[in-house]
Structure formats: C-alpha cells, structure tokens
Structure 1
Amino acid sequence: MSRTITVEGMSCEHCEQTVEEALEDVDGVNSVDVDRDAEQATVEGDAETPALVEAVDEAGYEASA
C-alpha cells in the first residue's frame, strides 16, 4: 500500500534524508521517497498513517496526512 503525506519545513537535501530515515524506522515501511520541493513523502508498506506523521514530527518537521 502506498501513502503520501505532506511534510513542511524541509529546506535542503539533509532535511530530506532526515525525514526519509525517520520514516524508514517505522514498523511496516518498505520504502520511502521524499520530495522537499513538493513537500511530500510517499511511503510503501503497511505502516499506519498516524505512526508516519508522528515519526516526521519527532524528527523536527511538520507532517499531515
């Protein structure tokens, strides 16, 4: 299953990498594609959306589904 969440606050490649790593640590995530220009992260897997949003928030960015 694929989910796309909005991620605000990314301004550089390091930001993208931080968000990607945070999402990869969530149980059930198979792959992640982060696009700072579109302010989105697309996640493949069966992780629950609230867990994805929480992981991004804990990494210091603002996420919403």
Structure 2
Amino acid sequence: MNQTFNVQGMTCGHCEKAVTQAVQSLDPQAQVRIDRPAGKVDVQSTQPRDAIAKAIAEEGYEVVG
C-alpha cells in the first residue's frame, strides 16, 4: 500500500538516508521515495501507517498530519 507522509526536519542526504533506513528497519522490502524540498516521504509498504510514522519520529523527524 502506498502511503505519503509530511516530514519536517529533513535538510540533507544524511536525513534522507536515516528516514529510509528507519522505514526499512520495519519492512526491508519497503520502497521509499523522498522529496526533501517538499517534505514528502512516499512509502510503499504493508506496515501500518502509525508504525512507519513512529519509526520516522524516533529518528528525530516530525511527521505532520
């Protein structure tokens, strides 16, 4: 299932890698696409939305909405 998250605080490539790794720690098969300027993270995963948002937040980024 495709899910889109609004994520604040991503400022560089390292941030993108951290968010990607956080999502893939839950679902190694997840596909993650990040549009850093727009603050959007698109995730193709079978994991619940709340679990993905929590994993991103635990990396220190704010998931909005």
Instruction: Give the TM bin, normalised by the shorter chain.
Output: 0.7 to 0.9
Per-residue Cα deviation, 1:6-52 (whole angstroms, up to 9, x for no partner): 11001111111111111111137521112211101111121100001
The unaligned stretches of length 5 or more in structure 1 are none
Of all paired residues, the percent bearing the same amino acid is: 35
User: Which residue is 1:48 aligned to?
Assistant: 48
SS in 2 for 1:25: helix
Q: TM-score, normalised by structure 2?
A: 0.87
Given the superposition, is the C-alpha separation of residues 28 and 46 from structure 1 closer, same or farther in structure 2, using an over 3 Å criterion? farther
Q: What is the count of residue pairs matched by the alignment? A: 65
RMSD: 1.6
Q: Where do 4+ consecutive residues of structure 1 move more than 2 Å? A: 27-30
Equivalent position amino acid for 1:16 in 2: E
The unaligned stretches of length 5 or more in structure 2 are none
